[in-house]
Amino acid sequence: MKWTKFPRIELGKGMEGRIIAVPLSPSEGEVKLKVGTTPINSKFFENNEARLIEHKNKLLVVVGVNGRGDARMFGANAWKAVEKFMGPVKFHIFPDFLSESEVLEGVLLASYNFSKHKSKQSERPWIVFHGSPSTVEEVVEKIRGVYIARDIGNEPGNHVYPESLAEIVRDSFGETKVEVEVFNEARLKKEGFGGLLSVGKGSINKPRLIIMKYMGGNQGDAPIMLVGKGITFDTGGINLKPTGHIKDMKFDVCGAATVIGTMWAVQALKMPINVVGLVPAAENMPSADATRPSDIVKMYNGKTVEVTNTDAEGRMILADALAYGIEKFKPIATLDLATLTGACVVALGDKVAGIMGNNPKIVKELITAGAEEQEKLWELPLFKHYLENMKSDYADLVNSEKKRGAGASNAGKFLEQFVSKNWVHIDIAGPASSESEWEWNPVGGTGFGVRTVLKWLSMHI
């Protein structure tokens, strides 16, 4: 699979170039003295507005910032202003008093353009970045992981389905230090992945389990395990989704996309840590062979689940992968990411992910990592009484809560029945994709979580 390319980047020196992007702060920075007399109100800084200013023989792209926390917004809005008003020109970007790496992250995140299926490709601006070579190298590999996650999410279901996703992963990691193993349908049956098989049985595109192993840390050290929900397209199954947002159900693969993008960045950055990534991949389709509501399924760990709603399929495939991964790899910590519930979007909106788990320390670490990367996480509870809502009269569990309310937490409580200690779940149903541009995120897949997970992993090196 050909990943979306970055715009052209080169390193700059001195004050060369005619078009120069610079931050403007109320209190600091080199540019304040030069354009400080220009009439600017407080909203210019609060909203990170961009303004084009002729100064001597230069054209300044000035972006308002309220402080150092606006570095990514400066980079993003500088790129947007240049592309919108000037087109495919060479422009120089000076971080000045802002973090070099965060500025460049903002530029690259905002410049993402998924256009591979269009017959005509447009030219893009050309970046001359005034920063250190090491910053460029590190940021490029980090943000490439985000691009990969966005690309996988944006691909339609006729391009990305379980078998093709497995091949994409094999091909992408073929010459890296990541070892890839794929369980096909026969292997899944042999191993007893009842949950994953039940979700995928209605589709001609049969399920897969994709395992990625990166051992960059000490030999023998237990790994951290990442698990991503990989529903490549979700019709809802027999409980068919209504017309409307069903076309967006290609984004149900975004948890898997985040794990794959993270694994790419981990190996590219040569992080000295052991990490295992698991992607249970299935396509949830209605057919004569599909799982019916009321069917009872035996899961990998031996528990039985009554399927009361075939559109609560994500937790079924995650449960099997979590149980298998914990048994097989005995990780020191387990993190799963999934576009799991609409209830999480109702609770938190479309720009915030819900987080819950059985280890408060890890939950706090991830919230802190998200804050540093400007990806918002909000903790949701896993109270004991939620389990009562997930018990079946005919099996051990139901896959969809019996009573409405606390849907995101009920789903988390279901998953908790398949894990051991040190487990955290992040529901990215809201911010994984977007219907409009916001901050540095494009329409479509956002790659949410890649940067947060990388930051969290760095805390364990």
Task: Tell me which residues are annotated as active site.
Answer: 241, 315
Task: Return all residues near 277 (Cβ < 8 A) that are at least 6 apart.
Answer: 211, 212, 213, 214, 225, 226, 227, 228, 259, 260, 262, 263
Exposure string (b/e) for 349-387, b if CB count within 10 Å is 16 or more?
eebbbbbbbbeeebbebbbebbeebbbbbeebebeeebe
DSSP tag of 351: S
Residues paired with residue 248 on neighbouring β-strands, in sequence order? none
Helix (H, G, I), strand (E, B) or coil at 371: helix
d(CA 261, CA 278): 12
Tokens of 109: 């995140």
First to last CA, the chain: 31
d(CA 382, CA 4): 39
Residues paired with residue 63 on neighbouring β-strands, in sequence order? 23, 50
d(CA 78, CA 75): 5
Dihedral in degrees, nearest 10, Cα atoms 296, 345, 158, 3: -130
Exposure string (b/e) for 301-337, b if CB count within 10 Å is 16 or more?
bebebbbbebbbbbbbbbbbbbbbbbeebebebbbbb
Phi, psi of 444, deg, nearest 5: 100, -150
d(CA 344, CA 352): 9
